């Protein structure tokens, strides 16, 4: 288990992404994945109010609804750390105080719970004053509706400003950052990583498998199939991407684990990373990522992967 920042949240080393629930996984498939994840020792589920508004026929809130139904059906609320987000959904767009209050109540209702363990600002909205946003989050924490707050998709200067405001005003403070970070997307390391380390936050990276590319699923332009993520994954299939896949294959063969597990293990080994986020729409995909937890790569293996992606 890993501790998130200076919070009391102790989480499994793999954060299960709920973005596929209600999109490429229906309720029955989602329940099966959640059951298997918890059975393996998992306790950390990531979602957002906007999931899965981008899917045909959806309007948003589907993922939270499925997770809420699962929590109610299984009676597992106290065993699971639930993270959700506010700001990206058109129905609750932005981070004004009024919007945060209303969105939180809606998420609580869909999740069928009385508290959210980790509540993210999904994106930074410069037109919404940070003081207002943080005061609204603080109000939720004081009311017991949210345990801790976090930021997603913030730039370094804005994250630093938000933390400074919380310190000055005595507001609840962000305990984690959720950035786009993986073996082929390493911009986080430039300005955000030093700030996160200095401020004592944890990193919970999304797109840990680069939309499936780092699972080794897309090795040719003909590998797209019917996957809605194929286009994004295949954008990494260039000379550098092929070099990364070759390095991943070598390490995966040495440990006799799936390529996806090695990709996530590299990410988990990076400074401040508590639990990479990865989703699974079925049990087969889940079996490909679970071995990442507890997989310890040698310094030489970590260097070979890092060098291949440089």
pLDDT (tens digit per residue) in 33-57: 999 999 999 999 999 999 999 888 8
In a domain, 200, yes or no: no
Q: From the CB of residue 26, how many other CB atoms can be counted at a distance below 10 Å?
A: 13
Give the per-residue pLDDT at 153: 98
In a domain, 108, yes or no: yes
Mean pLDDT for 267-285 is 97
DSSP E strand stretches across the chain? 2-3, 10-11, 15-17, 44-46, 81-86, 116-121, 146-152, 174-178, 202-203, 277-279
Mean pLDDT score across all residues of the chain: 96
Give the per-residue pLDDT at 71: 97
CB 167 within 8 A of CB 161: no
- ∠ CA(109), CA(100), CA(163), 5° rounding? 125
In a domain, 266, yes or no: no
In a domain, 78, yes or no: yes
Give the per-residue pLDDT at 272: 98
In a domain, 14, yes or no: yes
Coil, strand, or helix at residue 43? coil
Give the per-residue pLDDT at 160: 98
pLDDT digits (tens, 9 = 90+) for 224-250: 556 666 778 889 999 999 999 999 999
Strand pairing partners for 87?
93
CB 15 within 8 A of CB 276: yes
Instruction: Provide the CA 218 distance to its chain's centre, in angstroms.
Output: 22
Q: What is the pTM of this model?
A: 0.96
As a whole number of angstroms, the longest Cα–Cα distance in the chain is: 55
Catalytic site includes residue 51: yes
Catalytic-labelled residue, pool 51, 174, 207, 236: 51
Residue in 32, 30, 37 with CA at minimum distance from that of residue 67: 30
Domain limits at 19?
2-178
- pLDDT: which is higher, 226 or 135: 135
> Distance between CA 59 and CA 99 in Å, rounded?
18
In a domain, 231, yes or no: no
Please report which confidence band the pLDDT of residue 15 belongs to, taking 50, 70 and 90 as the band edges: very high
CATH number, domain at 153?
3.20.20.100
Give the per-residue pLDDT at 29: 98
How does strand 202-203 pair with strand 2-3? Answer: unpaired
- Report how many domains make up the chain: 1
């Amino acid at each position: 288990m890993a501790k998130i920042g200076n919070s009391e949240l102790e989480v499994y080393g793999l954060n299960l992404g709920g973005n596929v629930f209600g999109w490429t996984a229906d309720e029955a498939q989602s329940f099966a994945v959640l059951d298997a994840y918890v059975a393996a020792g998992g306790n950390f589920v990531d979602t957002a109010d906007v999931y899965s508004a981008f899917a045909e026929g959806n309007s948003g809130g589907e993922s939270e609804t499925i997770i809420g139904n699962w929590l109610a059906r299984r009676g597992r609320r106290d065993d699971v750390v639930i993270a959700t987000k506010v700001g990206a959904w058109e129905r609750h767009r932005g981070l004004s105080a009024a919007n945060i209050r209303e969105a939180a109540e809606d998420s609580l209702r869909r999740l069928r719970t009385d508290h959210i363990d980790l509540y993210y600002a999904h994106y930074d909205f410069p037109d919404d004053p940070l003081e207002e946003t943080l005061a609204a989050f603080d109000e939720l924490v004081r009311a017991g509706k949210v345990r801790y707050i976090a930021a997603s998709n913030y730039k370094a200067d804005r994250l630093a400003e938000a933390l400074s405001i919380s310190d000055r005003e005595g507001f609840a403070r962000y305990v984690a950052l959720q950035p786009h970070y993986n073996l082929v997307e390493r911009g986080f390391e430039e300005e955000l990583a030093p700030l996160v380390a200095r401020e004592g936050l944890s990193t919970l990276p999304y797109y840990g498998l680069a939309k499936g590319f780092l699972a080794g699923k897309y090795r040719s332009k003909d590998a797209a199939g019917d996957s809605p993520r194929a286009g994004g994954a295949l954008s990494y299939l260039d000379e550098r991407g092929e070099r990364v896949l070759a390095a991943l294959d070598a390490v995966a063969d040495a440990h006799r684990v799936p390529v996806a597990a090695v990709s996530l293990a590299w990410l988990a080994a990076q400074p401040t990373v508590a639990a990479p986020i990865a989703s699974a729409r079925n049990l087969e995909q889940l079996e490909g990522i679970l071995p990442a937890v507890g997989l310890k790569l040698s310094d030489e293996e970590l260097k070979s992967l890092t060098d291949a992606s440089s």
